[in-house]
Chains A and B, each alone.
Chain A
Amino acid sequence: MPGIVIDKVSRRYGRRWALTHVSCEVASGESWMLLGHNGSGKSTLLRCVATAQKVHQGEIRFGGQSLWPNRGALREKIAVLSHAPALYDDLSAGENLQVWARLGGHQADVPALLTRVGIDPARRDPVRTFSAGMRRRVAIARMLLKRPELVLLDEPFTALDPAGRRWLLDVISELRAGGATLIMATHLPQVAREVADRALILEAGKVVFRGAVDELPAELAFE
C-alpha cells in the first residue's frame, strides 16, 4: 500500500537550496527517522511533507495522491509536532486542548488525554507558566486529538527528560500499532532507532544514506 512518496524534491530559500533532489518511499505503517546536522534540511523536508511549505521541484504523494493540490483534504490525516508547540500561552492546558478539539470537530476526553501525557487535568494555570518539557507534553496531547494516518515529529525528544523520552517512545509505539506512518527528524538516533524501521541521513540538503536502521553506522552522533 503506498504511503508517502517523496520524488526528487527540491526546495530553496532565496538562492540557497535547502533540499536537492531528495527521494524516498515510506510504506504505509512504516517508521522513518531523518538524521543530519543542523541546517541539513530535516525540518524543511518535514515541513514540505506537512504541507506547510510548497516544494519548488519534484513532488510528494500521500496515499497515491499528489500532496500539494489535495492539501485541504489530506491535512486532516496528518498530525505534526513541530518546534513551535502551537499552544495559546494564556490558556490552561485543558483550555488549549478544548479549543483545538472544537476547531477540528474532534470528540475528545480532554481530562483523560491530559492524564495520558502526564499533566494534572485539574491544573488551571496558563501554559506560559509550564516548563519546556510540560509544554512539549501538551503539544503531544494536542497532536493526539487527531487520529492521524501520517505522524510527523520534528525533534520530538527535545526538552523531555529520560522518563519523558521513554514515555514518548511508548506513545509512538501505540501510534504505530494503530497503523500510523511515522517520520521523525531527530538528533538522537540512539533513542529513535528503538521505534524506527528505516533512516534517511541528509547533509546540506542531499541524501547521503537511505536504508534500514540496522545498517546505520554505529558511531553516528549529531548532538
Chain B
Amino acid sequence: MTSFFQWIGQLARQTAAMVYKEMLTEWRMRVRVSGIFWFSVAIVMMVAFSIQSSTMLKEIAGGTLWIAILLASTRSLDQSYQVEHEQGAMEGLLLWPVDPIAVYYGKAIANMLVLLGVALAVLPLLLAIYDRPMLGSWPQLIGTIVLGCAAIAAPGTLLGLITSQARGSSVMLPLLLFPLVVPALLAASMSTSRLMEGDPMNVAPPWMLVLVVVNCVFWSFPSVLYGLIFED
C-alpha cells in the first residue's frame, strides 16, 4: 500500500513537472498558440462572411466555435511532439526515467490548457462578430468549454504520439481524431448553443453530463495504452 501511495506521489510530481515544462516551452515559443488562435479566428470570420442571414449566424455561433477549436486543435496536437523529437528528448524522457503515464497526463493537461486559452480568447470575438448576445449561464458555458477542450485534448494527445513519427502526420491525426471526438463535439456544441440562447428548457446540463462521461473514458483509457506506445 505504501508503494502504491509512493507511486501516486511520484506520478503527481512528474505530471506537474511535465505541465510546467510544456507551458514554459509554450510560453517561450508563443508562435504556436498565436498560430492556432489566428487559425480559429480565420474560421470564425470565414463562416461569418459566407452566411448572409443574421438570424442563422446567431444560431450557428455555438457550433462554429467548436469547429474552429477542433480544426485548430489538429495543428496544436500535431506540433505537441515536435519539440520532443527534435533533440531526442522523447528518448531522454524514456530513459530518465519518467513514467509514461505522467508524460501523457502532463501533455494532455497542457494541450487542454492551450485549447482552453484559445477558445476563451475566440469566444468574445465570436459573440461580437455573430452579434450573439449571451443569454444563459456564464459558469455553465465556461464549464462546457473546459469539458469540450478536455475531450479533444485527451485522445488527441494519445493519437498525436502515434502519428508524430509517421509520414504525413498532419493528415493522419485528423483522420483518427475526428471520428473519435464526434460525441464530445456534438454534446459541446449543443450545450454551447442552448446556453447562448438562454437555455429556457434547461437542456445544457444533460449535454454537460454527456461530456463528463466522455471525459471519464477519454482520460482513463489512453493512459493505459500510452505506456506501450511510448516504449515502442
**Could you tell me if B93 and A103 are in contact, using CB atoms closer than 8 angstroms?**
yes
A91 and B87 in contact, given A51-B95, A99-B21 (Cβ under 8 angstroms): no
A93 to B92, CA, bound (A): 16
Determine the residue in chain A with the shortest Cβ distance to B10.
A105
User: Smallest distance from the beta carbon of A55 to chain B beta carbons, Å?
Assistant: 15
Note all chain A residues with C-beta closer than 8 A to B92.
Answer: 84, 86, 100, 142
A88 touches B (CB below 8 Å)? yes
Main secondary structure of the interface of B (DSSP, over half): helix
**Could you tell me if B91 and A82 are in contact, using CB atoms closer than 8 angstroms?**
yes
A102 and B25 in contact, given A76-B97, A78-B95, A88-B87 (Cβ under 8 angstroms): no
B51 touches A (CB below 8 Å)? no
Note all chain B residues with C-beta closer than 8 A to A76.
Answer: 97
A50 touches B (CB below 8 Å)? yes
- Interface size of B by CB at 8 A reads 25
A199 touches B (CB below 8 Å)? no
B73 touches A (CB below 8 Å)? no
Choose from B83, B86, B95 the contact partner of A52 (Cβ within 8 Å).
B95
Choose from B21, B24, B29, B87 the contact partner of A103 (Cβ within 8 Å).
B21
Contact with A along B6-45 (1 / 0, CB 8 A): 0000100110111011001100110000000000000000
Determine the residue in chain B with the shortest Cβ distance to A135.
B87
Note all chain B residues with C-beta closer than 8 A to A90.
Answer: 25, 28-29, 83
**Could you tell me if B87 and A89 are in contact, using CB atoms closer than 8 angstroms?**
yes
Contact with A along B135-149 (1 / 0, CB 8 A): 000000000000000
A105 to B11, CA, bound (A): 11
B98 touches A (CB below 8 Å)? yes
A64 touches B (CB below 8 Å)? no
A33 to B130, CA, bound (A): 68
**Could you tell me if B25 and A52 are in contact, using CB atoms closer than 8 angstroms?**
no
Report, nearest first, the 8 A-B pairs whose CB atoms are least far apart: A84-B88, A86-B92, A102-B17, A75-B97, A90-B28, A99-B21, A103-B17, A90-B29
Q: Would you give 9 A-B contacts (Cβ < 8 Å), ordered by A?
A: A78-B95, A84-B87, A84-B88, A86-B87, A86-B89, A88-B89, A91-B25, A102-B21, A104-B98
